[in-house]
Amino acid sequence: MQIAVSEFKARCTEILRTLKSPVEITNRGKVIAVVNPPPLASSQNPLIGCLQNTVTYAADWDEPLGEEDWEACE
């Protein structure tokens, strides 16, 4: 889709809210900018959230250490 810069300025918010495919912004018929929709959520950084629900706690995680455990910490 191509749109003149003057029309884009007037309808910017509406265009950005409904953006589904690239929009070429023109000035006197010459493309001066291209606005693309944001990437899909699935193509974002795969490392974010990859360890979600993988941490487990032992039932006695907050109990004091025994004498044998202190030796391992030295």
Coil, strand or helix: which one is 11?
Answer: helix
Is a pLDDT exceeding 80 seen at residue 22? yes
Distance CA 62, CA 74 (A): 20
Structural domains counted in the chain:
1
How large a percentage of the chain has pLDDT more than 90? 43
* Between 4 and 70, residue with greater pLDDT: 4
Residue 51 lies in a domain: no
42 pLDDT band (50/70/90 cuts)? low
In angstroms, what CA-CA distances link 44 with 36, 39, 40, 41, 70? 15, 7, 7, 5, 44
Residue 61 lies in a domain: no
Residue 59 lies in a domain: no
Question: For the segment 45-60, what is each residue's pLDDT rounded down to a tens digit?
Answer: 777 778 888 888 888 8
pTM of the predicted model as reported, rounded to 2 decimal places:
0.52
CATH number of domain containing 11: 3.40.1620
